[in-house]
Structure 1
Amino acid sequence: MKVISTAAASTSRRTFAIGLASSAALLLSACGGGSAAPDAGASEAPQDLAEGGSSTITVWVDTPRVAVLEDIAAKFKEDTGITVELVGKETVREDFITAVPTGEGPDMIVGAHDWLGQLVQNGVVAPIELGDKADEFAESSIKAMTYEGATYGVPFAIENIGLVRNTDMVADPVETFDEVIANGKQVVADGEAEYPVLIGLDPKQGDPYHLYPLQTSMGAPVFGTGPDGGYDASKLELGNEGGIEFAKKLKEWGESGEKILNSNITGDIAKQQFIEGNSPYFLTGPWNVPDIQKAGINIAVDPLPTAGDQPAQAFIGVNGFFISSKSQNSLAANEFAVNYLTTEEVQDAMFAAGGRPPALKASFEKAASDPIVEAFGKNGQNGVPMPALPEMDAVWADWGGTELALIKGQGDPEEAWKTMVSNVEAKIGQ
């Protein structure tokens, strides 16, 4: 395969600005190394937890992680006399919201940070006091777990996308999407690939998630922020000038233009085409890296390319543990969450099982000995939490559908984008 050197590429490169927020990103291979015992650095468990009437706390967990938590549950039982019942669930959020008001729900769940708006709105989660332990986690993970000024979860993993590059096709990273396109077109022209760059799209809803870094680099976030740094639903910024320019770019890159974006290329197809060596670039997350490496593709993970003059900011997702607002065992649940689930032992194990690097700084440092993990992490440092606002549910459909139509070459970009923004404003009451 022909390798393009970009070391002396275009002199018009824009500087890729790295944000100040400290966050982890992800990867896929389990990290090695030792781990701290649950009682190392943790406060001594209260002796009256069981005496206070708590004999069992129930935790709903996505099924693959049940086995991962068994050892720490056994340790908690040994230390406190309280049993941790781990229940595998496939529809955690929906069942939790339904069950908690009836008094039949669990004491704790595992879930994603962007559930928070809905969970808080329904009154089913309780704030948690991490104290000094909050400083042991990536700043962005704590920010993601914070809603309207209160922290609601113990984070354990962070994930975001990056630009995966086939190093046998293109030797060096670049900084702009224009350069990515130019390199990709050259590889295609040389007969070494079929697609300049692969970005998987949903055939019905496009993919605002994967395209978001390009959009933010043009100065068009979804929502603005309030005085506390959190998202403010009254500040919808999709329709600013940057958003209009991004809409024009979508049509330019799409099927009636340069054919960089293809509505027929789903995420699964994009992955398979990259594995088969049919593109030098694949915009994706660490969840696809194991299969790529298994196929023998030599890769690097590059900084997210910019389409405008702003930083390319990906959405980051944070997984964590939440405590029910109606828990009858809240003291025991808080002890388990704050002094057991925050340990390296647990954070390392969750990474090993789920392929998502830990939010705990000490655990992530071990995971980042892998250069792929480290590279996703650097992208995450410039990322922003996916909005947990309940209003976000009213944004995705119009946003994605409009992007898809423009990629297909349909409509006037400015008019289509303004119509989309008006529809979203009507749905969220602006």
Structure 2
Amino acid sequence: MMGNARSATSLTAALAGGALLLTACGGGTDTSAADESSSGDGSQAQGSLTVWVDADRAEVLQDAAADFTDESGIDVELVQKDFAEIRDQFVSQVPTGEGPDIAVGAHDWLGTLVTNGVAAPIELGDTAGDYQQVAVDAWTYEGQTYGLPYSMENIALLRNSELAPEAPGSYDEMISMGEESGAEYPFVVGLDPNEADPYHLYPFQTSFGADVFGTDDAGAYDPEELTIGDAGGVEFASWLAEQGEAEVLNTSIDGDLVLETFSAGDSPFLLTGPWNVPAAQEAGIDVQVDPIPAPGDEPAQPFVGVQGFFLSAKSENVVAATTFLTDYVGSAEVQTALYETGGRAPALTESFDAAVESDEIVAGFGEVGAEAVPMPSIPEMGAVWEHWGTAEAAVIDGEGDPEDLWTRMAEDIQSSIDE
């Protein structure tokens, strides 16, 4: 059984507590618990849940869905979708009543989902404390939690231990170690000639105290407080220009080339995510995962992306759907299985701790991710990326005064937000 000990008890209480409408919003069943759930144990409840998942998650959830059905009498239909298409299809289909009760997705979809009125808050209750705090924070929007998290993904510093036996304590130390190693490049990170890569460069930016948006008292991003153009951002831009002039940062070296460089032993350090670790290991590199060294006075914090499952605002099976998520998908067995399939640090602390103990690569990324900051999920973030990346590329390539380029970027972002 892939559920846990609390599953049957809490499910019984939930379904026996009142007249639940157990109708999947797209499933065509019209049966209420008040009419058809037989007795107090809820074991004969009728109805179904529809869950949109990608292929990998579908395979993992099959056993959990079967357990839930056995214990509740509620069918769970797992519908496979292309992950990249789920958000837009969810937004378009939920208002028509054709969408699912539950869907898998990324936390930075929240702004779109909530502003379109298609996602509903989920009551994690006491189980909220069972997850890594950054994972719950990522799925929180305007003070309400909208998803049950299952994995976390972020970048960190990969180190070739043969070229650099010890982790650097600062950015300058990393560059010195890289130069002393005799490798062709002291450090590499994939960039783009037109848009640089704000995602990969963000931890360096945060070390100068330069966020994108301010935060309110609860720690949520404030769309009305654009802070990227503040003094810390200008200082970061000056540093970027210096790195570009020194050719430490090079917009002509993209993500594929830096992976080839690191895998060939031509650089001891690569700033990247877990997706590039297998290729480096297959090339024979002894890979270590370290915290990102800070060029500024504050910690270098990357963005963390958190995947999870969220509820439809049109679902008529909210209690059953919530129970399936919190007690089955949220069990250590399922969270661990999802980690084993996806290779990303689990969101559930019990599974996270087990993964960290058994896998040093996951441990390295997980420890960095636990101190990372959630990717902003507010809709205004959509106005940031293009201006941000274009300005970074221009600064690195020396196409103007760094302060002027950065200040103009902030003004352009604000104008786009105001439109």
Distance 1:413 1:134 in 2: 44
Question: How much has 1:64 moved relative to structure 2?
Answer: 2.4
Are residues 1:56 and 2:43 paired? no
Match of 1:332 in 2: 320
Match of 1:68 in 2: 60
Runs of 4+ with >4 A deviation: 47-51
Question: How much has 1:203 moved relative to structure 2?
Answer: 3.5
Higher normalized contact order (CA 8 Å, seq sep 6+, divided by chain length)? 1
Match of 2:348 in 1: 360
SS at match of 1:301: strand
| Aligned residues of 2:170 and 2:295 also touching (Cα < 8 A) | yes
Distance 2:2 2:56 in 1: 23
Match of 2:38 in 1: none
Matches within 5 A, 1:300-339: 300-339=288-327
Please report the RMSD computed on the Cα atoms of aligned residues, expressed in angstroms. 1.6
Question: How much has 1:44 moved relative to structure 2?
Answer: 3.1
Task: Pick from 219, 224, 239 the counterpart of residue 209 of structure 2.
Answer: 219
Are residues 1:181 and 2:175 paired? yes
TM score, norm. by length of structure 2: 0.90
TM score, norm. by length of structure 1: 0.87
Are residues 1:373 and 2:362 paired? yes
Higher deviation after alignment, 44-53 or 312-321: 44-53
Distance 1:204 1:332 in 2: 48
The residue type equivalent to 1:413 in the other structure is P
Task: Pick from 197, 205, 223 the counterpart of residue 187 of structure 2.
Answer: 197
Match of 1:284 in 2: 272
Match of 1:44 in 2: 10
Task: Pick from 87, 92, 104 the counterpart of residue 110 of structure 1.
Answer: 104
Unaligned runs of 5+ in 2: 23-30, 34-45
Distance 2:97 2:370 in 1: 40
Are residues 1:92 and 2:57 paired? no
Are residues 1:145 and 2:133 paired? no
Equivalent residues, number = 389
Match of 1:389 in 2: 378
Matches within 5 A, 1:22-41: 37-41=2-6
Question: How much has 1:37 moved relative to structure 2?
Answer: 4.6
The residue type equivalent to 2:32 in the other structure is G
| Aligned residues of 2:118 and 2:313 also touching (Cα < 8 A) | yes
SS at match of 1:368: helix
| Aligned residues of 1:165 and 1:280 also touching (Cα < 8 A) | yes
Deviations 1:107-145 (A, max 9, x none): 111011111111100000000111100010011111111
| Aligned residues of 1:312 and 1:382 also touching (Cα < 8 A) | no
| Aligned residues of 2:11 and 2:320 also touching (Cα < 8 A) | no
Are residues 1:248 and 2:238 paired? yes
Question: How much has 1:330 moved relative to structure 2?
Answer: 2.1
Distance 1:269 1:407 in 2: 18
Distance 1:272 1:78 in 2: 50
Match of 2:260 in 1: 272
Higher deviation after alignment, 354-363 or 199-208: 199-208
Larger relative helix fraction: 2
Identical-pair percentage: 50
The residue type equivalent to 2:196 in the other structure is G
SS at match of 2:237: helix
